[in-house]
Structure 1
Amino acid sequence: MTPYENFTFFIWMLVPLAPAVLLGFLGVSGRIRSLWLIFSTLFMVGVIYRPIAALFQVTVFFLWAYLIVYFFLRLKQSERGKQQETLKRVYHFALLAAILPLALVKLNPYVNALGIWQSPLGFLGISYVTFRTVGTVIEIRDGLIKDVKFIDFLSYVLFFPTLASGPIDRYRRFLGDLEKKLTRKEYGENLAEGIDHIFRGFLYKFVIAYLINKYGLIRLSTDFTWTATLQYMYVYSFYLFFDFAGYSAFAVGVSYILGIQTPENFNKPFISKNIKDFWNRWHISLSSWFRDYIYMRFVLDSAKKKRFKNKYTTAYVGNLLLFGIMGIWHGTELHYIVYGLYHALLMIGYDWLERKNKTRNVWGKGWAWDSLAIVVTAHFVFFGFLIFSGRLF
């Protein structure tokens, strides 16, 4: 069952949420509340992943992820782990092991077409579970995480409101909410915020996105004239936002009701004044994850090893790497790869323009220039979504 796709899911969700509200207003300790969250997660994972075969896949993947995290943490804390070269090799092995199931799923259509092998994994949300595991491994390596308990890691990785499509939380931030004792007033504020998000999710996903799809996308999907394609670009862009933002609003809202303040995923992305601003507003948890764990680490490592002659080349290659991986993560089809590279070029172009503007005043200031910047940025973004849709290919 896909989360938040139909009202049946919301009925099932009342089972963990109703007692969570009661516990919240009773002001119970953080540990009791976290125990209920574990039960809620296990119950809803059972609801989402039916039949048993799918639940088995999730269980196997989780145990695999925990063993990677557990053994890497123990090695880092051991005497042997103090040998930097050994730790570095094991760290890279742990990362590869964490990514391996997702990589096999992404490559599965190709190897299956050749009749070689078919991945036994491929459950809904495997990407986001992988991101959480990889992020935990990286922060263990950085010394930010000193201990990972089995139950806490299970609650974090399989947290059902955000299991299928995010937002992507960080282990330390999640654990802080999990262990925190909320007063009645604090929980009441959480509950109000959660209900507000859920109503917003219904408006976005089941009203606006539904109407856009029914009266826009369906009509345009069979018309491939250039005027229809232009209309499709706008319609698809707004449909994608309201559908995905609606899902994210549900995920954040349910999280708040359970006492977990999951980060926001969208912040008015279509009023961005440049492409960098857009990626700080669109799918925020994913873009920040890629920025922190891929782009910044690549840039810092390249500077340390003097891989490139200047910092701008380093940043440009970093953007190509970041958005190239992001494109492939969406899928290995050509339009996803082109979408990633397109945004890498936009980021590179904006960086070049921004530097030129500091010396030559290419871009002005004031509300008129800001309005123009919003319109121009939006159209670059919309064309990117047209690429993403696959219609051009």
Structure 2
Amino acid sequence: MSFFSGVPFFTLMTLLLLPALFLGLRGKAIGPYGLFASLVMILTVLAGTPLQLAWLGAYLLWESLLVFLYIPLRQKKGPVPWHYALALFLSLIPLLLMKWSEVTTLSLFSFLGLSYLTFRVAQIIIETYDGVISSLSLPAFWAFLLFFPTFSAGPIDRSRRFEEDFRRRYTREEYLTLLGDGLEQLLIGLVYKFVLSPLAFRLLSLCQPKGGLLLALAYGWCYGIYMFFDFAGYSRMAVGCAYILGVRTPGNFHLPFLSRDMKDFWNRWHITLSHWFRDYLFSRFLMGGIKGKWFKSRLSGACWAFLLNMLVMGAWHGLTLYYLLYGLYHGVLLAATEVYQKKCSFYKKYRNCTWYGLLSWFVTLNLVMVGFLIFSGALFT
């Protein structure tokens, strides 16, 4: 069984959502039940892989110990940089071991959803250091990490927003609205994932990425469309399921193929991932560089921040060459976009013209599809 795929999963999901629906319509708290439902679902999905269950148990113990030692330490000692750096590094160790396993013959540490759980733990540690988080209950922490709609592939929620919904009691009218929105998201996700995504995959199978420039670009287009319907469908189903469990998980896609430039694209594509990197890597690296006077100007700092941000994002997808090149490619495009928009008089003069908007959209869309061609790895096999 796998998440959001196959009759067994959807049957169990339906059975687990029915009590949540009953609680929501009665105005009762759904959060504690959501933790129970998540444990049932994860144990069922991973039942055939006991080693993954063992790694998950070890991960929960490790990260719980780390977070609940660091929060009181931060409150007692204040924002000590080396405490923070150590806690953050220790939280990343399981993910680093998994990534190392990808390039060696050793299987050091790996289970479904590890990378997405690591984002959530790192966010808690970072915001604890910032003084934004001062307390956290163990049930809320586990519910946040194990929430089954977003467990394996996001969207990536934020702990404070999640905890508000975890503790919230909806009125009957509020829950009916949330339920309606959730069912709509589920239905759209089902159509994306099981109707449109397979159609795009059939088109993909007809393309030859090494048959010349036009065929390679056609492959990139088909792969990009396939990726959108497959992942956006998964994300919509996850959001819809989360709504029924009383959690307003943020969406992951907003008309990405209507983007007018590369920065606009990353505000529309895999939104929770790109915003996580923006808030916790890009912005912090840039502000640290400005304070430390690492760069000649804020613009050059932004360019280096884009390159670092996207290279790390590429490495997060995997340490294979094409993922790293994909990250570097988007880093260069984002840096170039930043320079162009800040320095080019042509852009400033015509950016509000309709013809310029259409041209910018067309160029952006094709650059995005070239990126998908790189991401697919088809050129490297």
TM-score, reference length from structure 2? 0.96
Instruction: State yes or no: 1:111 paired with 2:104.
Output: yes
SS at match of 1:194: helix
Paired with 2:311 and 2:364, the residues of 1 have a C-alpha distance of 20
Contact kept, 8 Å, 1:357 with 1:363, in 2: the verdict is no
Contact kept, 8 Å, 2:217 with 2:369, in 1: the verdict is no
Paired with 1:203 and 1:360, the residues of 2 have a C-alpha distance of 39
Instruction: State yes or no: 1:259 paired with 2:276.
Output: no
Contact kept, 8 Å, 1:41 with 1:158, in 2: the verdict is yes
Distance verdict in 2 for CA 1:362–1:382, change over 3 Å: farther
Offset at residue 221 of structure 1 (A): 5.5
2:204 alignment partner in structure 1: 217
**Residue type at the aligned position of 2:334:** M
Paired with 1:43 and 1:358, the residues of 2 have a C-alpha distance of 59
Paired with 1:225 and 1:47, the residues of 2 have a C-alpha distance of 46
CA deviation string 1:65-84 (max 9, x = no partner)? 11111111111122xx13x5
Distance verdict in 2 for CA 1:360–1:282, change over 3 Å: closer
1:100 alignment partner in structure 2: 93
1:157 alignment partner in structure 2: 145
Offset at residue 223 of structure 1 (A): 6.8
Contact kept, 8 Å, 1:327 with 1:337, in 2: the verdict is yes
SS at match of 1:220: coil
Contact kept, 8 Å, 1:320 with 1:344, in 2: the verdict is yes
1:179 alignment partner in structure 2: 167
CA deviation string 1:327-371 (max 9, x = no partner)? 000010111101001001111111111123357746443222211
CA deviation string 1:196-220 (max 9, x = no partner)? 000001110100001111x212232
CA deviation string 1:295-351 (max 9, x = no partner)? 001111111111222111111111111001000000101111010010011111111
Contact kept, 8 Å, 2:209 with 2:215, in 1: the verdict is no
Instruction: State yes or no: 1:40 paired with 2:44.
Output: no
2:69 alignment partner in structure 1: 71
CA deviation string 1:70-108 (max 9, x = no partner)? 111111122xx13x5xx2111111111111111111111
1:54 alignment partner in structure 2: 52
Instruction: State yes or no: 1:170 paired with 2:168.
Output: no
Which residue, out of 221, 227, 230, partners 1:240? 227
Aligned residues: 379
Paired with 1:364 and 1:203, the residues of 2 have a C-alpha distance of 36
1:301 alignment partner in structure 2: 288
Paired with 2:220 and 2:308, the residues of 1 have a C-alpha distance of 26
Offset at residue 374 of structure 1 (A): 1.1
Instruction: State yes or no: 1:188 paired with 2:164.
Output: no
Paired with 1:94 and 1:43, the residues of 2 have a C-alpha distance of 30
Paired with 2:7 and 2:273, the residues of 1 have a C-alpha distance of 27
**Residue type at the aligned position of 2:63:** A
Q: Which moved more, 1:362-371 or 1:145-154?
A: 362-371
Instruction: State yes or no: 1:231 paired with 2:228.
Output: no
Contact kept, 8 Å, 1:108 with 1:118, in 2: the verdict is yes
- The percentage of aligned residue pairs carrying the same residue is 39
Contact kept, 8 Å, 2:32 with 2:166, in 1: the verdict is no
Offset at residue 225 of structure 1 (A): 4.4
CA deviation string 1:132-191 (max 9, x = no partner)? 000000011111111111111000011100011100000000001111110000000010
Which residue, out of 194, 207, 228, partners 1:206? 194
Contact kept, 8 Å, 2:31 with 2:165, in 1: the verdict is no
Paired with 2:56 and 2:271, the residues of 1 have a C-alpha distance of 26
SS at match of 1:303: helix
Paired with 2:348 and 2:33, the residues of 1 have a C-alpha distance of 58
Contact kept, 8 Å, 1:152 with 1:175, in 2: the verdict is yes
Instruction: State yes or no: 1:392 paired with 2:379.
Output: yes
Paired with 1:288 and 1:18, the residues of 2 have a C-alpha distance of 33
Instruction: State yes or no: 1:142 paired with 2:135.
Output: no
**Residue type at the aligned position of 1:46:** L
| Structure 1: gaps of 5 or more residues | none
